[in-house]
Amino acid sequence: MKQALPILAVLAVLLAAIAVANPFFLEPAGFLAFLKRAAPLVILAAGQYFVIVSGEFDLSVGSLVTAEVVIAARLIDGDESATWPVLALLLVIGLFVGLVNGVVTTKLRVPSFIVTLGMLLVLSGAVFLWTGGAPRGALSESFRTFGRGGIGPLPWSVLILLAVGAAVIVLMRADFGKTLIATGDNERAAALSGVRVDRARIVAFMLSGLAAAVAAILLGGFAGVSAQAGQGLEFSAITAVVLGGVVLGGGRGSVPAAMAGAFTLEALFTLLNLYGISGALEFTVQGVIIIAAVAAGAIRLPRKFTPRRGDAHAAS
Amino acid sequence: MNLLVRVRRPAPRGEAKGGLAARLREPTQVVFLALLGLIAVGWALVSLHGDQFLTMESVVGIQQRSAALGIVAIGQTLAILAGSLDLSVAYLISLASLVAAETMAGQDGNIVPAVAATLAVCALVGLVNGLVITRLHVHAFIATLGVALIIKGIVDHLYDGPAGKVPESFQLLGYSRIGPIPVSAMLWAGVAVVAWFLLSRTRLGYRIHAVGGNVEVARLSGIRTGRVIVITHVLCSVCAGIAGLLLAGRLGAGAPTVGTDGGYDLESIAAVVLGGTALAGGKGGVAGTVGGVLLLAVLDTIFNQLEVNSFAKDVVRGVVIVTAVAVYARRGTRRSV
């Protein structure tokens, strides 16, 4: 938890700034709306965290989200009865894509940057080859409930987000989390002390794929079907994870911090909108803030001996 | 100095025969074998389809299609060899095309200042990339992604569509050719030769390899590693600027989406890796990158001649890139991350 403190401080400042500009934000409805909007990115960031902390990248999540949404629309095609089988299928596809990413990365020893870049091309090509260039069909109402509806005042997506958050924290406290961090920190040392390095990484990729599937279900419900559903999400997710203080290259950082990073990014978008910074310049501000935040993180920790300290965290 | 380069080679087999023999066994050369194989397969497929492969038209097409990507990829090679990478090139190309076209404003007399201004802007962006990475200790992935967002914001804010005008004489750069060789391909070849000379015949080239191979060892042996990384980023951005000029010449104007439409950021990295350069840095070279770019262009041409759906093209392209790198990984002994 200690690792999440700096990003939580930044998040608190941003949330306060939003509240000042828009008092509605302090009411439960306003805050829940924010959580609902942030849920897909936070879930994606949690998935990406597993991959990054094990020392790899997953660039395929954005196109995976698009592919899942398009597949769901084509298969369901407005038919309510198809909702549950298709939901199950989407989760399986997510796991399978992660499995392929993981196996090619570990067994064929291809850098994950390239594997997932290839997967990005394959997924976006294949899914539009199948639908003939544009999304077809429609989502059913019960499918869209996950992204739009809720139980009373509580949106489903917030409940799903809480469940995912609890699950990943438990997972990272279990043996799996410890072995994953050890793998990312020093692959050889981990292997010598009996960690099944390849398996840990494959599971990390599968979790990322699963997270993308869940995010796609929420996004499909929230925003509807489009060919750009997941555009740029891979970079947003990686940025969020890095904002949370997780180090590219692996072995350091915590999952609550990564998820807080995603909330921070979403809060930043909200704030920029509120202050009326025009659509395009938003990117510029975002770029400056990302560089500044990561640079500030790098200055705070002296570089040379931090990996050792990371060891201590992983072991404790 | 050669020692520094050889440290990371898989096996010291070629040492006795000198640099060239050793270099021929590098995975950077495998890509040319793959290229020949692909041309053979393509020739067979296209003939079966009842067409003629490698006509004058398609050879010129291959060269023109690959020139811009080729120039960017050569810059990207320098950055990747030094253990870095540059995700900002796509937006920088758009920016460069706009700066060039706006400064030229259709006047022949403005060509020289416009080229100078474009390259200066690009060099400045490269300098920022390099300094953020080395001075602020931001990972290259995040640093160049951040700079890409900054450029995207500025370009999108200022421009909605094509702007500026490129005079006729400069448009010659885009389309004219001497015999079967387009001027743009010659420009690409020129950039490649300069980069090859830089990497294999100068002190800076050895330093780039050394820094990419092991930055700590390079630092301890007295190389100013930060400076080397900054220089590679400046050169990478200048290459993107040249590509932007070329594309401005081809379009006759600057366009805010010309870089991203071409997907030059990820595509150039893919071409570099396809050419056998290790993503972790220190291993590889310009020749492989040229091969990688040509491979992608020949693949494109075959698909066009067979009239295959463009989405299928993406699928095959993804599979080819991953397969190629898997083959290189089998040949090498070390795993690159």
Check CB contact of B327 with chain A, cutoff 8 Å. no
pLDDT (tens, 9 = 90+) of chain A, 316 residues, equals 567 778 888 899 889 988 888 888 888 888 898 999 999 999 999 999 999 999 998 999 999 999 999 999 999 888 888 889 999 999 999 999 999 999 999 999 888 999 999 999 899 888 888 888 788 888 888 888 888 888 878 889 999 999 999 999 999 999 999 999 999 999 999 999 999 999 999 999 999 999 999 999 999 988 888 888 888 888 889 989 988 888 888 888 899 999 999 999 999 888 888 887 767 787 888 888 888 888 877 665 444 444 444 443 433 3
Q: Domain of A280: which CATH number?
A: 1.10.3470
Q: Which residues of B touch A97 (CB under 8 A)?
A: none
- Closest residue in chain A to residue B87, using alpha carbons only: A235
Check CB contact of A29 with chain B, cutoff 8 Å. no
Q: Which residues of B touch A283 (CB under 8 A)?
A: 149-150, 152-153, 156
Check CB contact of A228 with chain B, cutoff 8 Å. no
Where does residue A69 rank: exposed (0-12), middle (13-18), buried (19+ CB within 10 A)?
buried
Q: Which residues of A touch B256 (CB under 8 A)?
A: none
Nearest CB to A281 within list B153, B273, B314: B153
pLDDT in tens, A86-113: 999 999 999 999 999 999 999 998 889 9
* Yes or no, beta carbons of B321 and A121 under 8 Å apart: yes
Check CB contact of B311 with chain A, cutoff 8 Å. yes
| CA distance readout (Å), A148 to A82, A223, A227, A249, B107 | 19, 9, 19, 37, 56
State the Cα–Cα distance between residues A310 and A172, nearest whole angstrom. 15
CA distance B199 to chain A (A): 24
Contact map slice: B 116-145 vs A, CB within 8 A: 132, 136-139, 141-143, 145
Which of A46, A15, A45 is closest to A31 using CA atoms? A15
Give the model's pLDDT for residue A300.
53
Number of H helices, E strands in chain B: 16, 2
Read off the pTM: 0.85
What range defines the domain where residue A70 resides?
2-315
* Lowest pLDDT segment from B119-123, B155-159, B237-241: B155-159
* Yes or no, beta carbons of A287 and B329 under 8 Å apart: no
Mutant choice from B150, B265, B267 vs A, greatest count of A C-beta within 10 A? B150
State the Cα–Cα distance between residues A196 and A203, nearest whole angstrom. 11
* Yes or no, beta carbons of A291 and B136 under 8 Å apart: yes
* Yes or no, beta carbons of B141 and A299 under 8 Å apart: no
The domain segmentation of chain B, as residue ranges, is: 32-44+53-331
The CATH class, in words, for B32-44+53-331 is: mainly alpha
State the Cα–Cα distance between residues B260 and B97, nearest whole angstrom. 12
Q: Which residues of B touch A124 (CB under 8 A)?
A: 311, 314
Task: State the amino acid at position A157 in one-letter form.
Answer: S
Check CB contact of A126 with chain B, cutoff 8 Å. yes
Show Cβ contacts of residue B262 under 8 Å, excluding neighbours closer than 6 positions: B68, B69, B90, B93, B247
* Yes or no, beta carbons of A295 and B138 under 8 Å apart: yes
Nearest CB to A278 within list B141, B143, B157: B157
3-state DSSP of A7-23: HHHHHHHHHHHHHHHCH
* β-pairing verdict for A154-155 and A150-151: antiparallel
Alpha helices (H) in B51-88, listed in sequence order: 56-81
Give the model's pLDDT for residue B321.
87
- Closest residue in chain B to residue A235, using alpha carbons only: B145
* Yes or no, beta carbons of A283 and B149 under 8 Å apart: yes
State the Cα–Cα distance between residues B272 and B73, nearest whole angstrom. 6
